[in-house]
Chains A and B, each alone.
Chain A
Amino acid sequence: MAFPHRPDAPELPDFSMLKRLARDQLIYLLEQLPGKKDLFIEADLMSPLDRIANVSILKQHEVDKLYKVENKPALSSNEQLCFLVRPRIKNMRYIANLVNADKLAGRTRKYKVIFSPQKFYACEMVLEEEGIYGDVSCDEWAFSLLPLDVDLLSMELPEFFRDYFLEGDQRWTNTVAQALHLLSTLYGSFLNCYGVGRCARMSYELWRKLEEEEDSETKGRKPEIGHIFLLDRDMDFVTALCSQVVYEGLVDDTFRIKCGSVDFGPEVTSSDKSLKVLLNTEDKVFNEIRNEHFSNVFGFLSQKARNLQAQYDRRRGMDIKQMKNFVSQELKGLKQEHRLLSLHIGACESIMKKKTKQDFQELIKTEHALLEGFNIRESTNYIEEHIDRQVSPIESLRLMCLLSITENGLIPKDYRSLKTQYLQSYGPEHLLTFSNLRRAGLLTEQAPGDTLTAVESRVSKLVTDKAAGKITDAFSSLAKRSNFRAISKKLNLIPRVDGEYDLKVPRDMAYVFSGAYVPLSCRIIEQVLERRSWQGLDEVVRLLNCSEFAFTDMTKEDKTSSESLRLILVVFLGGCTFSEISALRFLGKEKGYRFIFLTTAITNSARLMEAMSEVKV
């Protein structure tokens, strides 16, 4: 469904401004190094950069050759080198090696490092330790928000998830706060703020501080965005771990959508070439099916094909003049549509081939059983078989995590045996993966009573002051229980259905999971927006283990028109899935809201698991 919005739904702000800003800044930075230069780009930045400035723009600003930052010596012969990198220590060492090699060879060149979205002190320190701090000039490209679509902004920071939720590294919260600050400067301040999660709270407070520091300038702007909701990914791992069955999610799970575009291989394009396709509202066909449950997509596409044929057929019986009109005006559009249609049909076929096998249905069945909490034993056996058959390391891990979270941890016997089986199947190095998963609370053991580790209890004994109080919370969050079952009951996440759930005419957000489960994250947002506060949700918040980190901040006077109040910015810290986006788009359509999504990165179950995996070097 193209989600025809209610007539009273507000207009979306124009986010293309963000792109222009980023482009202008980049050009400015490139001009800072006049003359011909070679540009070294970090692999992760290539796709985002491509969305901002293509090669010809770079060439216009005297970029000569483009290189990828990788562990190979660079063969650039240019006198000026420019590095466009994320602030990572690894990159600093790469640059240092390059510069030091030049020094050994007695060569002097100009080096410039552009950090995106910001530089970190640690990076500069490494440059200093390597003895090249004086040889390079550093700059920041504050490109933190990439509009992937009219309603979707991504920070393209997939490492946020691991850094924050696994390593406890808060370095990116400041970046989030600055991104929010940028939004509020451009589109007006946010009137009502809600959030849940430790990181949400921190980012929010940092953002407020930024606002206070220079409030005089932004105050004049009329607010466009009525509400902002910040949500930590660890509030809801379940939704992110489920298999996606909405078209866009499914395409992401199957082909991996990268920075808003996807590489369709030969099996989809039915030619011998791969094709890179941009997936967004511009793609008329995609726009109509992106939020659809997969079971409807094929029917829709064939209907569309018939319509298209009919339009082509109109040619017959046209006179010359009409024909001229047709060719000059409609044909191009039809051809375009035709091309897109065949692509998506190809993609559907490819997905069907992979997913409609028996295996996939069993998998979905198991997932649903886990969500609903029945036949746990059977599901556990299924997972074991899954591991024994070496179906896929990531999938097996995902199912184990799903089982653990929905069941508040595995019972000790299963915990051991599943892990043993897993190590035997996929290699012993995953011992580290399990340690990571335990730390992040994704795969834990049901333990009676004493859940605090030695360190944690020592810490809690040592600290008394306020700042340290927060820390003990952070620690206990490591060992926290997910309480999924109780939350599910409280928030009615498993809809009771009499008869078949009609996926063609969905009744609630559960349609994104075939009617079996309403995504927890979306439900929380729905409930809070309905109440305009956390009132009455105390129990849920307690079960989520974040009584301290749920907050609301309302402006006193609600003078602004209801128009802007219906525009809602949802910030996912640690990534969001396309299913969640689809669900909220559906909610928006039902209630006359318009959602804007800001995420640190688009994620899905596989990405989540990969972030936690320790893979051999």
Chain B
Amino acid sequence: MDWDLKEELRDCLVAAAPYGGPIALLRNPWRKEKAASVRPVLEIYSASGMPLASLLWKSGPVVSLGWSAEEELLCVQEDGAVLVYGLHGDFRRHFSMGNEVLQNRVLDARIFHTEFGSGVAILTGAHRFTLSANVGDLKLRRMPEVPGLQSAPSCWTTLCQDRVAHILLAVGPDLYLLDHATCSAVTPPGLAPGVSSFLQMAVSFTYRHLALFTDTGYIWMGTASLKEKLCEFNCNIRAPPKQMVWCSRPRSKERAVVVAWERLMMVVGDAPESIQFVLDEDSYLVPELDGVRIFSRSTHEFLHEVPVASEEIFKIASMAPGALLLEAQKEYEKESQKADEYLREIQELGQLTQAVQQCIEAAGHEHRPDMQKSLLRAASFGKCFLDRFPPDSFVHMCQDLRVLNAVRDYHIGIPLTYSQYKQLTIQVLLDRLVLRRLYPLAIQICEYLRLPEVQGVSRILAHWACYKARMWDETQGHLDEDVARAINQKLGDTPGVSYSDIAARAYGCGRTELAIKLLEYEPRSGEQVPLLLKMKRSKLALSKAIESGDTDLVFTVLLHLKNELNRGDFFMTLRNQPMALSLYRQFCKHQELETLKDLYNQDDNHQELGSFHIQASYAPGERIEGRVAALQTAADAFYKAKNEFAAKATEDQMRLLRLQRRLEDELGGQFLDLSLHDTVTTLILSGHNKRAEQLARDFRIPDKRLWWLKLTALADLEDWEELEKFSKSKKSPIGYLPFVEICMKQHNKYEAKKYASRVGPEQKVKALLLVGDVAQAADAAIEHRNEAELSLVLSHCTGATDGATADKIQRARAQAQKK
């Protein structure tokens, strides 16, 4: 071990994370009453004893330390507060275990791991348990009371069964199991009699097995469900052990428990004999998935059951195929013919495949590279004599070992075994490297394993950038701009790197300017905007949102702005962003009409304001007075907008409305909302000619319109007499062809003919044709000597009746051509 410990381990609170994790030490001054004035030091070391952090403990007395699955250090204080520190001693957060804990103080605490994450269990001074199964998603659970519990239990532990955390505790000769609702007394099957107290209990890493140490020096080992006994052992030591942990390998049939006292360590299992070790130094046991780590001041060792493959190969005088293959390879290297003999022996038994597999597997369990190498060499040698041996296992093992050797290195200090590594997965291992800020190594591993960029290199780069964003600050002479640029240079457009995440991190440590600079590199505006809003850079967010072209995004920002700014400022902001303005207007049009008016007012947009009031004047259910008032406002607005035309038109409309109202009152019938034209027509149709003419004069209806209007109206009435009178009142401004047309439309050929004669010469032919007088039309056309008219007439000549006319036209044509 690399550490230089000033204290004895036994004087410290010790916590070591599983999977070769870091070790935390806190010299416990609260145990001895005297040195309370000295502030203790919290130290964190890597598994190889490299110091990672050291800080003065300034908070209250700590009862227990523990590592979460994310390698965060949880420090449980006496008052129930849990402080969370990072691997590098950086304070993360804290949470409390509840009022009850606060009042009764913490007597004891355990940090445990379940598939949901890491949990904390607390025994309070009132001998009650409080538990949270996942500190990431804190839900406190107070366990039921144990009946008749007067003093602290002699020992207790957390169990995890069926995804629920339980607590097992021992009080005198009795065991109790606490779950959420109930407290039940349990008895382990086959427990030797005479037990008056349990001194220690241990649950295996996977929560499958349980070991109990009694005051008679008897150890009971069974399943954690307490339904089955596996074995028992009597060690005849009555002193309470310092630590007891399981030491077994997953899927192995062997069960063993390691029990440690001050100077003695004993491995017991399903055998009459135990293995004993003498401890020279103060040691600490760390249960692992496949064994036990034992560290002391000077050493750090791993105790585990020898894997089957290794045993087969290295057992003395083993004849297992793997052992033979290893031997064969060695001989081959010595250029001895024995190599062939061994090989032949394996092949004869048909066990070469098995031999290769054994060697590969055993290599995985070796920690020394030279042993790994020779085993792998043997495997590779054996492979040569096999057809179609799938190379994957060999290749993967080589890769895995290389990674493992790298992280086991002294400087890195993550002593993972192969089984632990497989359980942990490469992703988590990478995370842990990142957590230790070992970015280059992590990237090299990614590249070596050819992991997809998004999962591998980019993720690590992103973490690196976040770290940089946090650590490089201006006090160290790093300008925000330079930091942003440096980060961009390294990251470039690596897929999967989110600049907004990095920026969020920068903002998280109060570096807003840097965050904004970093956001510049974010290609997706959708990602930029929320953070900008969070940083209260709403206006910048607005322009980013507009650039993105995503209206929803713009709208989000708008609403944000609306709440953040006062109305005036909000409108001002909108005014500079026409795209946002029109979006907001659209919304107001449908949802907040009043706001729309305010918007126009603010802008002095009198034209739109006018339109707005006109629209309002058509609101359903509005009374006439209200409508006129709205129109008046509109007209005023139009004047202000210098749109005289609209103003005049609006005033005319006001006049018309009033007049229509009067007409309705005086004459009855429906006038309101008719157009001027229709109003006059209605008057004529209902025989109020005088009124109609008055109206026409008042509103200066042009002559042409009036003539068309009257003509249509009178024809509709079939008032032919009046029509004739009208036609003679003065010269028609629209000619007389319309008269002919309209009469024909009403199928009055007689009347039509009257007007046909009055049609001007250009349209005469058309008029005559309309009334069906083909012969006269022909005459007129001939007289005009107009080729187009001639053919028009000709096309109207049908059947025998017009035969003569047709001939006439043909003749006229011929004549015309002669000339």
Contact = CB atoms under 8 A, between A and B. Distances in A.
B556 interface: yes
A614 B582 contact: no
Interface in B90-117: none
Interface stretch (A32-40, A51-59, A423-431): A423-431
B677 to A, nearest CB: 5
B30 interface: no
B578 A475 contact: yes
Contacts of B555: 120-122, 125
A171 B646 CA distance: 31
Contact of A429 (B576, B587, B618, B705): B618
Interface string A213-233: 100000000000000000000
A198 to B, nearest CB: 11
Given A388-B704, A471-B579, A455 B605 contact: yes
A318 interface: no
A222 to B, nearest CB: 24
Given A388-B705, A424-B701, A432 B615 contact: yes
Nearest to A166: B582
Nearest to B604: A454
A421 B705 contact: yes
Given A167-B582, A416-B645, A426-B675, A431 B551 contact: no
A466 to B, nearest CB: 9
Given A431-B614, A467-B546, A120 B677 contact: no
A468 B559 CA distance: 21
Nearest to B586: A169
Interface stretch (B9-17, B144-152, B414-422, B648-656): B648-656
A90 interface: yes
Interface size of A as a range: 35 or more
Given A167-B586, A388-B708, A616 B675 contact: no
B713 to A, nearest CB: 11
B800 to A, nearest CB: 26
B549 interface: yes
Contacts of B254: none
B552 A121 contact: yes
A419 interface: yes
Nearest to A205: B549
Interface in B530-556: 543, 546-547, 549-552, 555-556
A275 interface: no
Given A121-B556, A389-B712, 11 more contacts: A121-B555, A122-B555, A169-B582, A169-B586, A171-B583, A388-B709, A431-B646, A435-B611, A459-B578, A474-B578, A617-B620
Interface string A545-557: 0000000000000
11 contacts: A121-B551, A122-B587, A170-B551, A171-B552, A205-B549, A419-B649, A421-B702, A425-B705, A435-B646, A454-B604, A465-B543
Contacts of A488: none
Interface string B664-686: 00000000011111100000000
B567 interface: no
A425 B578 CA distance: 36
A432 B611 contact: yes
A390 B582 contact: no
B699 interface: yes
Contacts of A416: 645
B607 interface: yes
Contacts of B524: 209, 213
Interface string B546-579: 1101111001100100000000000000011111
Given A420-B649, A428-B656, A431-B650, A463 B576 contact: yes
Given A121-B555, A467-B547, A427 B614 contact: no
B603 interface: yes
B729 interface: no
Interface size of B as a range: 35 or more
A323 B511 CA distance: 91
Contacts of B582: 167-169
B619 interface: yes
A419 B619 contact: no
Interface string B612-624: 0011001110000
In the complex, the 8 A-B pairs of residues with the closest C-beta atoms, listed nearest first: A168-B582, A89-B590, A171-B551, A428-B653, A427-B675, A121-B552, A424-B676, A388-B705
B585 interface: yes
Contacts of A453: 607
Interface string A366-402: 0000000000000000001100111000000000000
A468 B675 contact: no
A474 B583 CA distance: 14
Main SS class of interface, A: helix
Given A171-B583, A463-B576, A432 B614 contact: yes
A45 interface: no
B476 interface: no
Contacts of A88: 590
Given A89-B587, A169-B582, A432-B615, A467 B543 contact: yes
Nearest to A430: B675
Contacts of B652: 423, 428
A385 B704 contact: yes
Nearest to B559: A125
B591 interface: yes
Main SS class of interface, B: helix
A402 B418 CA distance: 82
Given A121-B552, A121-B555, A616 B578 contact: no
Interface of A: 88-90, 120-122, 125-126, 129, 163, 167-171, 173-174, 177, 202, 205-206, 209, 212-213, 384-385, 388-390, 416, 419-421, 423-429, 431-432, 435, 453-455, 459, 462-463, 465, 467-468, 471, 474-475, 614, 616-617
Contact of B675 (A202, A205, A425): A425
Contact of B583 (A170, A435, A455, A467): A170
Nearest to B677: A425
Contact of A428 (B556, B605, B649, B705): B649
> In the complex, which of the residues A169, A384, A474, A475 has the most CB atoms of chain B within 10 Å of its own CB atom?
A169
Nearest to B578: A471
> In the complex, which of the residues A129, A202, A416, A432 has the most CB atoms of chain B within 10 Å of its own CB atom?
A432
B675 A206 contact: no
Contacts of B702: 388, 421
Contacts of A471: 577-579
Given A89-B590, A125-B559, A388-B705, A167 B585 contact: yes
> In the complex, which of the residues A121, A206, A212, A617 has the most CB atoms of chain B within 10 Å of its own CB atom?
A121
> In the complex, which of the residues A173, A420, A465 has the most CB atoms of chain B within 10 Å of its own CB atom?
A420
A213 B591 CA distance: 35
A390 B677 contact: yes
A121 B708 CA distance: 53
Contacts of A202: 549
Contacts of A617: 618-620
A616 B576 CA distance: 33
A363 to B, nearest CB: 15
A427 B550 contact: no
A201 B720 CA distance: 63
A121 B586 CA distance: 13
Contacts of A425: 675-677, 705
B701 A120 contact: no
A7 B772 CA distance: 54
A617 B593 CA distance: 16
Contacts of A389: 708, 712
Given A425-B675, A432-B614, A475-B578, A455 B603 contact: yes
A94 B587 CA distance: 16
A89 to B, nearest CB: 4
B5 to A, nearest CB: 53
B607 to A, nearest CB: 7
A385 B701 CA distance: 14
B743 to A, nearest CB: 15
> In the complex, which of the residues A90, A170, A465 has the most CB atoms of chain B within 10 Å of its own CB atom?
A170
